[in-house]
Amino acid sequence: MAFAWNSVVAKIKRRRRRWLAVGIVMVLILLALDLLFPLPQPGRDSPYAVVVLARDGSPLRAFPDGQHVWRHPVKIADVSPLYLEALVAYEDKWFWWHPGVNPLALMRAGWQWMVHGRVISGGSTITMQVARMLDPTPRTITGKLRQIARALQLEWHYSKQGILTLYLNYAPMGGVLEGVEAASRGYLYKPAKRLTHAEAALLAVLPQAPSLMRPDRYPARARTARDKVLRRLEAKWGLTIVADALTEPVYAQRIQEPLLAPLLAERLRKEAKGQLRIDSTIDPAAQAMLEGLLADRAGSLPPRVSLATLVMDNRSLEVVAYAGSADFADDQRFAHVDMVQASRSPGSTLKPFLYGFALDEGLIHSESLLSDVPQSFSGYQPGNFQQSFHGAVSVSEALVKSLNVPAVEVLERLDPVRFSGLLQSSGLTLNYPRGASPNLSIILGGVGTTLEDLVGAYSSFARKGLAGKPRFIPQQPIQERRVMSEGAAFIVRDILETGGPTAKAVNSAAGAQRGIAWKTGTSFGFRDAWAIGVSDHYTVGVWVGRPDGTPNPGFFGANVASPLLVDVFSILPENRTGKIRQPPSEVTQALICWPLGTRLIDETAPLCASQRTAWVLGGVAPPTFSDRLRSGSARYTYYLNKENGKRVSPECARGPIVKIEAARWPAALEPWLEPGLRAKTLPPEWDETCDKLYRPEAGIKILGLTDGEKIRRPNTGTMPPVKLEVRGQPGKVYWMVNGQMIASGKGTMAQPIRFNQAGRYDITALDDQGRYDRISVSVIESQ
């Protein structure tokens, strides 16, 4: 017995070794086959589409693969559980248990084929369907065997979750759509995570015959197939739920490419470097309204004129709307040129920062006296946009009216290099022409910057002096930089919104009513029109122009950009509390005395020609800038004849005299003072007893033409210049024609004046002491 038992044991061991050897050989064969016939890699020949999403997950724009297939990456967790239940219950209820192939289902399918002579059910598992998606095979016996082999290979390499994820992403859904996420968004305009019971059943059955059951083309067929799935799920979902789902009609939107914020989507796709799903901060409702507004506005503009708008939330720095061109479908308007990123001349939009910096430097307060008159700054002679001058103006008036000469005057005191450095350190990139350096022209647009940078910088006026870099994706970190103090930001914003404490803003009612503070700008030659504004909630920037830089005569910020800016604010949800914005503790109001520019106190009250209510920062009320044309103290003394009120001096006076303490106006301003103010604040004419002694110094006189003279201009040929001279000033004299300085030189030299066309000519000669003479002549064309 012992011998027989040992023989049996030995035989079993030999067979076991044989089977082990066979098993090892089979494994080696399978490994060799796996190496020789590797699984096609998902995405190698059919990569995903890149999709850029709005903040609510809806698509802004999608970029298909090379075959124009729409395939959006999705994970199991991002798909509705209802869809997963419908898919597994209908397609492969043993999916989680079989090794990739269900032998019973295959035998059933084979028996039905032999009996009916046609395919009744395919017998394919979800794994086998994925195998056919990755490695398409013909619908033959050989093709089925190959599909089975690939299915087993898949189960070897992937987990069940991995195989299901492949199905969710590659299942054919009709037309150019592949994957449940693309189908859900393409047909239903919603993410796959929010599918209803009926929608889940519809998309679960669609891969069975995607071309024949497309819900956008064949809703009746799609409904029949969907209802079949729903009835199979009665045991799982319940009769009530299924009955309700069966009543839901099958309706699908026409498949169309999502196209919101197209230029931003293109920008984010390039910056994402291969990322397939890109989440953005865009609010789809605000974006759609903005694009509609711009397309409507573009219809009233000449061809090739484009528009760009950027809307940023001041609290989070998230960009909620982005339009880089007027209409992405209008190639005539340079639709694919993103003007949010383009460097352009900002015109006057940098002026608010200039006055904010000057406030922080203690150079000005909101009502500092400035001179809006023709001036030469080391050879640089700026003019105003409307080619007119206003004489004496305050900082508030200069900013609201966007006057150029006062801005240059302040910049000269601050220093252009410092101004440029402060702007760049606050995050606003400045692009100078090649070989150029910071100079006085920077404040009038002699530099380049972008709408994106301007919006970020302007947000400082609503964010207590802190500028923020616009954020386009939620993951982008918040980047803030200090631009100016909270007090300076408050004062500048208040001036732009209401005109400051004196409430003298031009057309400020619209801004004050909406709580909007804005500034316009126009670049040289009408090439760029700007409007940048802030509210408590948003910062909005608008640009209008031609991307190729061609001028648009008559287009400036106030008439084309600012109306659009107000309309953009009107479509945005603004959470206003109705409370009046309170100034920070370092900002107070004070009565200011002109022309000194200092606080009104008992000592200066007699010298006060005009009172102003000003915003003062840190309690500092700096005086008016020192006179550029006349040296000496801002205060001076003169004497009057007590009897007739005429000017005298102690040396020549006869009778009692009165000593007068006065404050000087800047010399360049004296010719521009109103007659009443001039009579009130300037010394009267000399008394006849002092006339011979002081008359030569009392003023200067233009010779060569008389006031009111009419000159006839020949209608042919060129009229020779008229040479004018002055008497009473051998030193330097400044010549102005119609408010523009044309020349300066010694008073002993004749000044030629040309009259190139008919009209009125106001000619002024002014010396360094502020003395002047002015005549007006009329030029008439000869008949």
Which segment of 94-103, 239-248, 293-302, 616-625 scores lowest on mean pLDDT? 94-103
Q: Which pLDDT score, from 0 to 100, does residue 696 have?
A: 46
* Whether residues 376 and 509 fall in one domain: yes
Cβ neighbour number for residue 192 with a 10 Å cutoff: 23
759 φ/ψ angles, rounded to the nearest 5 degrees: 140, -175
Pairing relationship of beta strands 740-746 and 732-737 according to DSSP bridges: antiparallel
* Whether residues 82 and 181 fall in one domain: yes
d(CA 591, CA 367): 9
Task: Identify which of 128-142, 332-346, 642-656 has the greatest average pLDDT.
Answer: 332-346
Q: Which pLDDT score, from 0 to 100, does residue 669 have?
A: 85
More confident residue, 575 or 95: 95
Specify if 470 maps to a domain.
yes
Tokens of 766: 């002014």
User: Mean pLDDT score of the chain, rounded to an integer?
Assistant: 84
Contact (Cβ atoms closer than 8 angstroms) between residue 131 and residue 147 = yes
Is residue 6 over pLDDT 70?
no
d(CA 265, CA 280): 9
- Which residues, 6+ apart, have CB-to-CB distance to 236 below 8 Å? 85, 89
Domain end (from 200, 219, 246): 246
Q: Which pLDDT score, from 0 to 100, does residue 254 have?
A: 76
* Whether residues 395 and 524 fall in one domain: yes
Is residue 195 over pLDDT 70?
yes
Q: Which pLDDT score, from 0 to 100, does residue 472 have?
A: 97
Kindly report the CATH number assigned to the domain that includes residue 565.
Answer: 3.40.710.10
d(CA 353, CA 356): 5
d(CA 725, CA 747): 7
More confident residue, 132 or 387: 132
More confident residue, 109 or 483: 483
Specify if 343 maps to a domain.
no
Section 268-284 average pLDDT: 88
More confident residue, 265 or 556: 265
d(CA 486, CA 704): 56
Domain end (from 219, 246, 273): 246
* Whether residues 375 and 514 fall in one domain: yes
Exactly one of 80, 306, 345, 348 is catalytic; name it.
348
Specify if 579 maps to a domain.
no
Contact (Cβ atoms closer than 8 angstroms) between residue 186 and residue 121 = no
d(CA 219, CA 476): 43
* Whether residues 82 and 152 fall in one domain: yes
* Whether residues 494 and 549 fall in one domain: yes
757 φ/ψ angles, rounded to the nearest 5 degrees: -155, 165
d(CA 458, CA 372): 26
Is residue 84 over pLDDT 60?
yes
Q: Rounded to two decimals, what is the model's pTM?
A: 0.77
* Whether residues 489 and 598 fall in one domain: no
d(CA 392, CA 197): 74
* Whether residues 22 and 122 fall in one domain: no
- Which residues, 6+ apart, have CB-to-CB distance to 582 below 8 Å? none
Write out 689-752 in H/E/C secondary structure: HHHHHHHHHHCCEEECCCCCCEEEECCCCCCCCEEEEEECCCCEEEEEECCEEEEEEECCCCEE
Pairing relationship of beta strands 772-781 and 710-713 according to DSSP bridges: parallel
Answer yes or no: 91 catalytic.
Answer: yes
Determine the Cα angle at 548 with ends 543 and 552, to 5°.
60
Section 530-537 average pLDDT: 95
d(CA 515, CA 519): 14
Give the number of domains in the chain.
6
Section 670-685 average pLDDT: 82
Which segment of 5-14, 347-356, 621-630 scores lowest on mean pLDDT? 5-14
726 φ/ψ angles, rounded to the nearest 5 degrees: -125, 155
Specify if 296 maps to a domain.
no
d(CA 592, CA 364): 12
Bridge partners (DSSP) listed for residue 517: 534
Q: Which pLDDT score, from 0 to 100, does residue 247 have?
A: 93
* Whether residues 664 and 613 fall in one domain: no
Answer yes or no: 348 catalytic.
Answer: yes
d(CA 750, CA 725): 5
Tokens of 627: 């006179």
Q: Which domain holds residue 187?
A: 50-246
398-420 pLDDT tens trace = 999 999 999 999 999 999 999 99
Section 760-777 average pLDDT: 80
Contact (Cβ atoms closer than 8 angstroms) between residue 555 and residue 592 = no
> What is the H or E stretch that residue 320 is in?
strand 319-323
Specify if 290 maps to a domain.
no
